[in-house]
Amino acid sequence: MHRTEIALGMAGGILLFFTVQGYDIMPVIFFIALIGGFILLAKARPGHKSFAAPVNNTQSGVLINFDDIGGQEIAKNELREALEFIKDIKRLNQLGIRPLKGILLSGPPGTGKTLLAKAAAQFTDSAFLSAGGSEFVEMYVGVGAQRIRQLFQQARQQARAAKKESAVIFIDEIEVLGGKRGQANSNLEYDQTLNELLVQLDGLTNSDDIRILVVAATNRIDILDPALLRPGRFDRQVRVDLPDKNGRLHILKLHTRNKPLAGEVDLETIAADTFGFSGAHLESVANEAAIMALRENRTELSDIHFRNAIEKVIMGEKLDRLPNNSEKKRIAVHEAGHAILSELSQPGSVASVNIASRSNALGYVRQTQAEDIYLYPSDYLKEKIAVALAGAVAEEITFGNRSTGAASDFKAAVGYTKQMIYGGMSKLGIVSPDDLPQELLHQTITAILREIELTVGQTLNRRKNLLAAFSRLLLEKECVSGSEFRRLLAQASAPLP
């Protein structure tokens, strides 16, 4: 018999004896249960089991390398340069270069930060271990620090087991454990966890048998503790931004290489229509297009599948709610106003106009642009304000009143107006946003909006026939493509300016 079974048997016999003798054994049972609970908690502590499992550096059975990641050429080049130091350890020692200990990837969600970390592990032929920042945070003081120690220990063990000389540790959402210290006075667990990470980073040297590189990702670099970002810890900060047009085209090619495309599908046009999309968005577009083709029992993905997939990713699935006839007519007029002003200000900017309800939108105009824009001059912002106000103005011209459907448009218009003011493009000149009186800010915003609203009203009044014709077309077809809308504009009596 096992010792545990013998001990339990003896304890049970002793308790039974005292019970027969008339003793109250409940305090003893409570004390034994309390000790047993502490033993179970101790066994459940992170030192007894792995919480950050090794991650296979594959996706669909294929090793991930930098060529499999599109749209991040600058980030990839900077990351490759940093990783070269890890690969050539002999040259590193010859030149007296200390190893890079950490690389911080910062940027919006879905831009490929995790894929870059996996590609870094493949590039350096390293073991790869991944963990999320939230896995280190517990209510019990000391648990997070112990998990940090365990993570580095696991990385070394995994590398030795795989007979590799280096390991890459990827920590996603590092802002959870790496936030500025002293923010949580009631609980020092966050600070202790960060302190342990700093200690582990400081302990990495060239003489280690297993070289460890920490790659972390965040989209809130502004809240990270300065001690974490100083040289000698996270030596490189790599910005992973949203892809430009060429990057989006590369990503689309990667995600459609295993999908049969119809001859009319032009990935370059789709890349131009998806300004502001991340790599995750583009992957979802390709996947949704394939799902739509499957629903229709098609053997190829056509252009219409991609168009519908883009709208679904942006706005969500179509809803069952159906506006009544008068509401639908108002929605058509509203969206027609947006589309007309958009095309007049930037020819070719309308990708599609839809009055089918999706998510919280009863209708919408999907806009695109020929080239990615990163600097916004005052004329561009005024055009964006005009497009935002055009829906409500079109309603007032047609029905003599406005509706609550323009609330989000007005919010967007005010946002563009504030950009003009804070950028020194208003009559106020250069201003300090923090010192600008609210009353003066309100008056300036109102003046800019009224001036642009008056111009929009004049423009749409001159094109009442076009507004009415396009509204009827929307009511008839529900969704009109940008090319079809431009053909209607070309036939209209009022030519484009």
Helix or strand holding residue 184 (H, E): none
* C-beta of residue 238 within 8 angstroms of C-beta of residue 106: yes
Distance of CA 108 to the CA centre of its chain: 5
pLDDT at residue 415 above 70?
Answer: yes
pLDDT band at 496 (very low <50, low <70, confident <90, very high): very low
pLDDT at residue 456 above 90?
Answer: yes
Provide the token pair at 377: 């001059």
3 state DSSP class of 479: strand
- For 252-285, write each residue's pLDDT tens digit: 988 898 899 988 888 988 888 887 888 889 989 9
User: Which class is domain 325-491?
Assistant: mainly alpha
Phi and psi at 53, nearest 5°, equal -70, 150
Provide the token pair at 423: 């950028």
Radius of gyration of the chain (CA): 31
Phi and psi at 181, nearest 5°, equal -70, 155
Dihedral in degrees, nearest 10, Cα atoms 193, 197, 199, 204: 160
- For 133-180, write each residue's pLDDT tens digit: 877 776 555 677 888 888 898 888 888 888 888 888 888 888 888 877
Phi and psi at 268, nearest 5°, equal -65, -40
Which percentage of the chain shows pLDDT scores above 70? 81
Strands 350-354 and 479-481: antiparallel
Which residues have C-beta within 8 Å of that of residue 291, sequence separation ≥ 6? Answer: none
Dihedral in degrees, nearest 10, Cα atoms 410, 415, 420, 426: 50
Phi and psi at 127, nearest 5°, equal -70, 150
Task: Give the pLDDT confidence score for residue 287 in this predicted structure.
Answer: 92
CA distance 7 to 318: 66
User: What is Dmax (Cα atoms) for the chain?
Assistant: 109
pLDDT band at 360 (very low <50, low <70, confident <90, very high): low
Average pLDDT over residues 30-37: 67
CA distance 220 to 105: 11
Lowest model confidence (mean pLDDT) among 36-45, 278-287, 377-386, 460-469: 36-45
Q: Which CATH number fits domain 245-315: 3.90.650.10, 1.10.8.60, 1.10.1040.10, 3.90.79.10?
A: 1.10.8.60
* C-beta of residue 277 within 8 angstroms of C-beta of residue 146: no
pLDDT at residue 67 above 70?
Answer: yes
| Entry pTM | 0.68
Which residues have C-beta within 8 Å of that of residue 483, sequence separation ≥ 6? Answer: none
3 state DSSP class of 478: coil
CA distance 72 to 375: 20
pLDDT at residue 32 above 90?
Answer: no
| CATH number for the segment(s) 58-239 | 3.40.50.300
pLDDT at residue 84 above 80?
Answer: no
pLDDT band at 46 (very low <50, low <70, confident <90, very high): very low
From the list 283, 335, 383, 396, the catalytic residue is 335
If you count them, how many residues does the chain have? 497
335 is catalytic: yes
Question: Nearest CA to 177 among 149, 154, 148?
Answer: 148
Question: Nearest CA to 409 among 435, 438, 385?
Answer: 385
CA distance 23 to 28: 11
Average pLDDT over residues 431-443: 91
Beta bridge partners, 284, equal none
Distances (CA, A) of 385 to 219, 343, 349: 29, 14, 15
Which residues have C-beta within 8 Å of that of residue 360, sequence separation ≥ 6? Answer: none
- For 87-132, write each residue's pLDDT tens digit: 777 777 777 777 778 888 888 888 888 888 888 878 878 888 888 8
**Token pair 């106000």 is at which residue?**
389
Average pLDDT over residues 195-219: 83
Angle (deg, nearest 10), helices 279-295 and 303-315: 120
User: What string of H, E and C letters represents the secondary structure of 28-86?
Assistant: HHHHHHHHHHHHHHHHCCHHHCCCCCECCCEECCEECCHHHCCCCHHHHHHHHHHHHHH
Distances (CA, A) of 454 to 218, 393, 411: 44, 9, 18
